[in-house]
């Protein structure tokens, strides 16, 4: 008798959530090769968005950020180790350049985008536009 274990509801939710989030934040994702894309987390609070991307072994001089309309483009170049005296017996590390596109929310302040690379983690901070507070106008 073969008993099939049901998937955990959290696994189903996480998988669906990841797919939906990816489509919302990155509509070009279908065209990109996910195998070489660095993993990222995106956070939000009332004042800003924070993107953390893991890119170990990439020097900050080899990273470029640009804006294309309302899309943040992260580009990174990696260089493969060249040691002619050694023969590769097993290779699991990918040394391919990457490009990641992230559609920014409408309330992003494009002028405030900043980035830091610390210990292989790229942190991109995007402040939110200040909301105009409602104002009461007195009729005279």
> Which pLDDT does position 18 carry in this prediction?
56
Rounded (5°) CA angle 79-85-91 = 50
> Which pLDDT does position 6 carry in this prediction?
54
Mean pLDDT of the chain: 79
CA of 29: how far to CAs of 20, 40, 80, in Å?
Answer: 11, 14, 25
Whose tokens are 């696994």? That residue is 11
Residue 26 above 90 pLDDT?
no
Domains detected in the chain: 9-81+89-127 (2.60.40.790)
**Mean pLDDT of the 42-58 span:** 92
**Mean pLDDT of the 26-48 span:** 71
**Mean pLDDT of the 116-135 span:** 91
> Which pLDDT does position 31 carry in this prediction?
43
Whole-model pTM over 0.85: no
Measured CA to CA, the distance from residue 23 to residue 16 in angstroms comes to: 11
Q: Are the beta carbons of 135 and 112 closer than 8 angstroms? A: no
**Mean pLDDT of the 94-117 span:** 89
Sheet holding 63-68, edge to edge: 63-68, 71-76, 98-103
> Which pLDDT does position 38 carry in this prediction?
85
**Mean pLDDT of the 112-129 span:** 95
> Which pLDDT does position 53 carry in this prediction?
94
């Amino acid at each position: 008798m073969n008993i099939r274990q049901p998937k955990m509801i959290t696994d189903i939710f996480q998988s669906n959530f990841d797919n939906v989030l990816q489509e919302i934040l990155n509509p070009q994702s279908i065209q990109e090769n996910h195998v070489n894309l660095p993993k990222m987390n995106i956070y939000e609070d009332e004042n800003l968005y924070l993107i953390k991307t893991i890119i170990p072994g990439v020097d900050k001089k080899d990273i470029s950020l640009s804006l294309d309309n309302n899309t943040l483009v992260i580009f990174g170049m990696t260089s493969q180790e060249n040691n002619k005296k050694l023969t590769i017996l097993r290779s699991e590390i990918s040394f391919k350049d990457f490009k990641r596109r992230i559609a920014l929310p409408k309330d992003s302040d494009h002028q405030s985008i900043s980035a830091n690379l610390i210990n292989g983690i790229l942190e991109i901070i995007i402040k939110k536009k200040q909301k105009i507070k409602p104002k009461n106008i007195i009729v005279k």
